[in-house]
Amino acid sequence: MSRVGAPETVFALSTGAGRAALAVIRLSGPDVELALTRLGLKYLPPPRMAALRKLYDPISGALLDEALVFRFVAPHSFTGEDMAELHVHGGLAVTQSILAALASLDICSPAEAGDFTRRAVLHGKMDLTGAEAIADLIDAEGGAQQAQALRQMNGSLRQVMEGWREALKTTLAHVEADIEFADEDLPGGLGQRALEGVPEIATAMEKHLQDRRGVALRDGLRVALLGAPNAGKSSILNMLAGKDAAIVSARAGTTRDVIEVAMVLDGVPVTLVDTAGLREAGDDIEREGVRRAKVQAEAADIRLLVLSPDTQSPRLKGASLEDADLLICNKADLGPVPEAELRTLGEIKALSLSATAGDGEAVLLEALQELVNERAGAKEAPILTRERHREALEEACIALQRALEIADTGLELAAEDLRLAQRALGRITGAVDIEQLLDIVFADFCIGK
Amino acid sequence: MHEKNWDVIIIGGGHAGCEAAAAAARFGARTLLVTHKLETIGEMSCNPAIGGVGKGHLVREIDALDGLMGRVADQAGIQFRLLNRRKGPAVHGPRTQADRKLYREAMRAAIEQTENLSLLGQPVDDVLVEDGRACGVITEDGQTHRGAAVVLTTGTFLDGIIHIGTERVPAGRHGEAPAITLSKRLYGLAEKTGALTMGRMKTGTPARLDGCTIATEKLEAQPADEEPVPFSFLTEKIIVPQTVCYITHTNQATFDIIEENILQSPVYSGQIAGVGPRYCPAIEDKVARFPDRKSHQIFLEPEGLDDPTVYPNGISTSLPAELQDRFIRTIVGLENVKIIRPGYAIEYDYVDPKALLPSLELKALPGLYLAGQINGTTGYEEAAGQGLVAGLNAARAAAGQDAVYFDRAEAYLGVMIDDLVTKGVSEPYRMFTARAEYRLTLRADNADQRLTEKGIAAGIVGPKRAKAFRAKMAELTQARTKAASWTMTPNEAGTKGMHIRADGTRRTMTELLAYPSIDWMDLQAVWPEMGEWSRDIRNQIETDALYAGYLDRQQADIDAFRRDEALSLPTDMDYLALEGMATEVRQKLAAARPVTLGQAARMDGMTPAALTLLLHHARKNQRSVAKSAEK
């Protein structure tokens, strides 16, 4: 085995590929200063100060570009390592030649995807939730998503989780003290009393678990258009999307597959899904279309049921039509949808419009926005933004509830469940180890004979 | 000078040394135990007690591997108490006060009755090293004793210094000379080979009191359990007479004297640099750290049935003797007490246990094994457990056999040794049940079920225990099979007066027993055979029922843990050359040389990325091992 490992200093083009006025190349690692020197910088700029410098090819000595150079000294940088940013001209030739020059140095190598953030986590500059937030921020498509990612980056999730973690740590430490120091002069019923704070934590967790808006906002919402063949679902989709995304024709059963259109409503990314008309007939292809429509209906966050005076509302099992969030009575120019049709669908909010006439678009958008806000709106900030968080928290919450139930049977069983809860939370925030528990025990109680 | 050849040489006759010697000898190794003074073999230097929560678990494990401590404590125990009796069986802590003389005598007898084991009363000055291997010892009289493996158990003797006030006395224990030459030799070895890092630890002990001068009539007595629970799986009944301890407390007057004079304590005057254990604080520490607490509990523990010496547990101190006398006399019951000898703090050398393999052999000096306080631990039980593992592995190595490891999922021995060699120590290490991830599985009651079979395979369990164990297991297996085959529907249960949810599901006897509303006698009325089972078997079935769901879940965790432990890392891996890993992590791995992927994962500062890379190498290693096995 050779002793030469991959260089620890990495570099990458941090702005998008293609022609632009500027491009930024970042470097991170112990040899950043050396790399800059090799690119011909005789004088390194002072940390955090912009300086105009000429960059030269380390081999041929050719001038590559004139760049604005920033330097950051460990640990005061994004990654916690020495870093530099080269703000160069954004042409393809310029960026490629500088990247090639860096690659030719044996002291640095191209960064892998996520390398900079990973280094930041490794050096304790951010925790896992912070790193996730950065990924979310970069991926954010709408303003609400952006705001949520920024909140998480600034610790909204971490703070709540840390609060629970700290509270559980003390609880568990006191329960463990009760178990471990049976012949010591400890307050009576120490373990049982420590558990008194647990219901409050479990309730707070439940509250956050019930709030699904964070995950919905991060993942975006799916809105399904459902209805009988030829009710005008595709026309409505086209009206909302403002373009001909779905083939619209008067023949029933045209939309045999599922057609999606992405849009942003109030900062929330929304995917509108057009589906095949729901009916028990047609050829094999249409039957497949119907099956897919049902799947879409199940998976959707918001279901719009489209009715029209000239079609029968679909009566199919498994399409959850009763769960529709909004009834759209299309083709209002042809007359009202029969009362009998509406009655079977009970209390669902309904509105009338005519998609082909382009009438009622504003009303529909407003109703849809209301529904989107309800599901993913972020007036009061939700904190659980990933399914991973939800699962871990759910596990922790169940373990806490069990700990309370079992505490009378055996304190060691309650401790076991507290440990499980702690471990589940640790998957979001990082683990608690035994030494931390012992620190609490010895700080809180005079132990030892 | 003539030389004699041994398989294994044990240095030290304390709790680690005795178990090491006996384990090596049980394995069949020609074993020599060398200690500076034969009279103090099995001495309890500090408190006269064995066991407790966590510690009692260790004693049961030592016993399950046919070690001595449990049997000896059963012959010397004068106040047996099962701690945590009101909590579940996983945290029951068997404990006893021990008569120091009875303990010493029983230990000496057990050692002398062990075949293949010889004793030599000589201080050891040096460990013989040839070709990078430890191969014997040189005693103070200049004699060389050769052995294929050496186990070093120095306790507090390695350059030991006793502190009482400003007084400093070189000593390994009250009235006994320290091992200074050996300490110098180890420091030399550390410097020359880089095989070990040395440091200083401290511990302390209280004054000893004359029990005849204690006004016990003023004090609360704590009796022994009515039915003493023995340590050893082989002990049927405790026949030593049982006695009481007395309880008293420090008070404001005690507090004031100590607080006023705290700077006369060597710990606070800066005279002692060594790190002491947080759970055995001196009374000075209690006063300094908890200034609001004026009263601390003291157990007055008899050191023997026919010995008036009393050990006042809770007031360990290194204040000057005159001050000890003053503050002790402020305590209720001790107003006129006569102090037999003052308490003291003791500083001694230890070796950073990260230098050890899980077999307790030094990585960089094959043939030399360390056990007990030299590894930075505290406590008789911790020392004895390490002694057993070191003695076993020294003997196996001498016989050319592979080391036997205990993992975190099968024994507290495994938890302790893994903690030591993986994480090292920052203060004297004591066993706690909270250190075990699989606490519900690692119980004192099932130590034999966990370990005796492994001990038989490893070659350190004698025929008597093996036979008794197999008989018990046959009985237990039969009972468990029956308990799982006897079933009832909720309706049937209802007719017998046991009310459970009517969901039509048949439940086994064990499942029914798990209901808080159903007790043993309810079920015995249905299945009378249950009445014929022994107490031991009944306890096991009850525990099975109580922990059922939890043990299943824990087993799933254990399976996952074992998958990582099964991935062994190449012993000759060039960690510094691993690509794509931070230098710091590479250096840590190179220094630690973890044995398995699981051990690597438990190291401080290990990252998921680094583990993924290691996993890759572990898999490659596994494949090449499999391939060479095929050849």
Kindly list the residues from chain B whose CB atom is less than 8 angstroms away from the CB atom of residue A416.
439-440, 550
Q: Are A223 and A299 in contact (CB under 8 A)?
A: no
Closest by alpha carbon to A143, among A376, A394, A410? A376
B313 touches chain A (CB under 8 A): yes
CB contact under 8 A, A118 and B290: no
Question: Across the A/B interface, how many CB contacts are shorter than 8 Å?
Answer: 107
Kindly list the residues from chain B whose CB atom is less than 8 angstroms away from the CB atom of residue A3.
574, 576-577
d(CA B590, CA B612): 17
Residue in chain A nearest B431 by alpha carbon? A180
- Return the H-helix or E-strand segment holding B298: strand B297-304
**Residue A253, φ and ψ in degrees, nearest 5:** 85, 30
Give the one of B87, B93, B299 whose C-beta lies nearest to A449's C-beta.
Answer: B299
A225: which strand partners?
A: A274, A304
CB contact under 8 A, B550 and A413: yes
Instruction: Specify the higher pLDDT residue, A215 or B14.
Output: B14
Helix H segments across A140-283?
A: 143-153, 156-180, 190-194, 198-210, 213-219, 233-241
Q: Residue A380: is its pLDDT beyond 80?
A: no
d(CA A285, CA A194): 63
B 360-389 near A (Cβ less than 8 A): none
**Tens of pLDDT along B367-407?**
999 999 999 999 999 999 999 999 999 999 999 999 999 99
Residues of chain A by 3-state class (helix, strand, coil), percent to 5? 45, 15, 40
Q: Are A418 and A396 in contact (CB under 8 A)?
A: no
pLDDT of residue A381: 56
CB contact under 8 A, A412 and B91: yes
pLDDT of residue A3: 24
B 575-614 near A (Cβ less than 8 A): 576-583, 586, 607, 609
- Mutation target vs A (from B435, B519, B574, B602; most A CBs, 10 A cutoff): B435
To the nearest whole Å, the CA of B432 is away from the closest chain A CA by 7
Kindly list the residues from chain A whose CB atom is less than 8 angstroms away from the CB atom of residue B83.
182-183
Q: Are B359 and B242 in contact (CB under 8 A)?
A: no
CB contact under 8 A, B435 and A434: yes
pLDDT of residue B609: 67
Mean per-residue pLDDT for A400-429?
89
Give the one of B81, B296, B576 whose C-beta lies nearest to A3's C-beta.
Answer: B576
- Mutation target vs A (from B84, B280, B515; most A CBs, 10 A cutoff): B84
What pLDDT band is residue A315 in, cutting at 50, 70 and 90?
low
**Tens of pLDDT along A341-372?**
666 666 777 888 888 777 788 888 888 888 88
DSSP secondary structure letter of residue B304:
E
A182 touches chain B (CB under 8 A): yes
pLDDT of residue B598: 85
**Tens of pLDDT along A136-190?**
777 777 777 777 777 777 777 778 888 888 899 999 999 999 999 988 888 888 9
d(CA A203, CA A158): 18
DSSP letter string over A308-332? -TTSPPP--TTS-GGG-SEEEE--G
Give the one of B54, B297, B576 whose C-beta lies nearest to A185's C-beta.
Answer: B297
Cβ neighbours around A13 below 10 Å, total: 19
Give the one of B54, B88, B277 whose C-beta lies nearest to A413's C-beta.
Answer: B88
Q: Residue A257: is its pLDDT beyond 80?
A: no
Give the one of B84, B88, B280 whose C-beta lies nearest to A182's C-beta.
Answer: B84
Question: What long-range pairs does B572-579 form, CB within 8 A, spacing at least 24?
Answer: B573/B617, B573/B621, B574/A1, B574/A3, B576/A3, B576/A5, B577/A1, B577/A2, B577/A3, B577/A4, B577/A5, B578/A5, B578/B613, B578/B617, B579/A5, B579/A6
CB contact under 8 A, B280 and A448: yes
Task: Report the largest interatomic distance among the alpha carbons of chain B, rounded to a whole angstrom.
Answer: 85
Kindly list the residues from chain A whose CB atom is less than 8 angstroms away from the CB atom of residue B578.
5
d(CA B465, CA B449): 12
The residue assigned the tokens 């077999």 is B359
CB contact under 8 A, A438 and B432: yes
pLDDT of residue B592: 85
The domains found in chain A, sorted by start residue, are 9-111 (3.30.1360.120), 131-211+384-441 (1.20.120.430), 226-376 (3.40.50.300)
Give the one of B280, B576, B582 whose C-beta lies nearest to A8's C-beta.
Answer: B582
To the nearest whole Å, the CA of B197 is away from the closest chain A CA by 22
- Mutation target vs A (from B87, B284, B437; most A CBs, 10 A cutoff): B87
Residue in chain A nearest B602 by alpha carbon? A433
Amino acid at B542: E
A5 touches chain B (CB under 8 A): yes
Closest by alpha carbon to B153, among B35, B22, B7, B29? B35
Q: Is the pTM of this model over 0.90?
A: no
B 422-441 near A (Cβ less than 8 A): 432-435, 439-440
pLDDT of residue A1: 24
Give the one of A180, A183, A411 whose C-beta lies nearest to B432's C-beta.
Answer: A180
Mean per-residue pLDDT for A431-437?
70
CB contact under 8 A, A182 and B83: yes
Residues of chain B predicted below pLDDT 70: 1-4, 580, 608-609, 621-631
ipTM summary value: 0.88
